[in-house]
Amino acid sequence: MPRTQGIYIITNMVTAETYIGSSVDIAERWSDHRWHLKNNRHKNVLLQAACDCDGLNAFHLGVLEHVEQAEQLARREQHYLDLLKPVYNGDEVAIRAPYRTWRSDEADWKRFWSKVDQAEEGCWLWQGTMLRQGYGCFKIAGKMYKAHRVAYLYAIGPIPAGLALCHTCDNPRCVRPGHLFPGTYKDNMQDAMRKGRMATGERSGARLHPESRTRGDKHWTRAEPGR
Ligand SMILES: [Zn+2]
């Protein structure tokens, strides 16, 4: 098979669910996907779960578009992600493609870390804009992202598709990469219940980790009262 560069789609013929990707060599990527699925090592948990359930032979490969120039791959991939919203690409759809361009943008990177209080010990608290659920948020190229996810992307790398990014410290405002780990949304919920994230009083995060909460003049509501 001649080398094909472009956008491909993997379809589960049992469920009609799909996955979209791009590659400079689609045939090689396809055999890569199959090898990882067969050996139960695919980093996309949704694809792996589907393979475990429906078998490797349920998956079929199709080519959506031949792309002449490699630098157009990400843009064309995003086009199909937006158009077809493939189930197996999960919630990473929005964050994966821009990530490719973030790393090269030093200004965003500097701006991001300037909003982080990098304590020597304990949590690194986000000092920028906060979301109502207690997460920090950060804007890149006009798009909002959760701050802890950005920190992980910058410091460690891509978050596997379909996974949530959980906190070992149970502090949603913390962006310390070492306190973050990818887990399933189910894990995240169970984890939250076990740690009593929604709990109040003695079981609340503020009581369990008082050192992790900034207070007084350092608190973001004081530092940025406009927020
Ligand atoms: Zn933390």
Tell me the average pLDDT across 72-80: 88
Q: Which spans in 85-162 are helix H?
A: 93-102, 106-114, 147-155
Ligand 1 centre distance from Cα of residue 226 (Å): 25
CA of 206 to the centre of ligand 1 (A): 12
Residue 224 scores a pLDDT above 50? no
Sign of CA dihedral 101, 102, 104, 106: positive
The whole-chain average pLDDT of the chain stands at 77
Whole-number Å distance, alpha carbon 214 to ligand 1 midpoint, is: 13
Q: Hey, what CATH topology would domain 95-198 get? A: Homing Intron 3 (I-Ppo) Encoded Endonuclease; Chain A (3.90.75)
Distance 126 CA to ligand 1 centre (A): 10
Looking at residue 115, its pLDDT comes to 96
Distance 171 CA to ligand 1 centre (A): 6
> CA–CA separation, 56 vs 36, rounded Å?
10
Q: Tell me what pLDDT residue 20 has.
A: 93
Tell me the CA–centroid distance for residue 121 and ligand 1, in Å. 9
In the chain, where are the structural domains located?
1-92, 95-198
The reported pLDDT for the residue numbered 187 is 65
Return the percentage of the chain with pLDDT > 90, whole number.
32
pLDDT tens, position by position, 173-218: 999 999 999 887 666 666 666 665 554 444 444 444 544 444 444 4
Residues linked to residue 66 through DSSP beta bridges, in sequence order: 6
Q: How many CB atoms lie within 10 A of CB 195?
A: 16
HEC string of 32-96?
HHHHHHHCCCCCCHHHHHHHHHHCHHHEEEEEEEECCCHHHHHHHHHHHHHHHCCHHHHHHHHHH
CATH number assigned to the domain covering 1-92: 3.40.1440.10
Question: What pTM did the predictor assign?
Answer: 0.44
Q: Please give the span between the terminal C-alpha atoms of the chain, in angstroms, as a whole number.
A: 57
Q: What are phi and psi of 130, to 5 degrees?
A: -115, 150
Q: Which residues of 140-174 are buried (b: 16+ CB within 10 A; e: fewer)?
A: beeeebbbbbbbbbbeeeebbbbbbbbbebbbbbb
Q: How far is the CA of 162 from the centre of ligand 1 (A)?
A: 22
Q: Is 77:8 a contact under the CB 8 Å cutoff?
A: no
* Residue 149 alpha carbon to ligand 1 centre in Å: 13
- In the predicted model, is pLDDT for residue 163 greater than 90? no
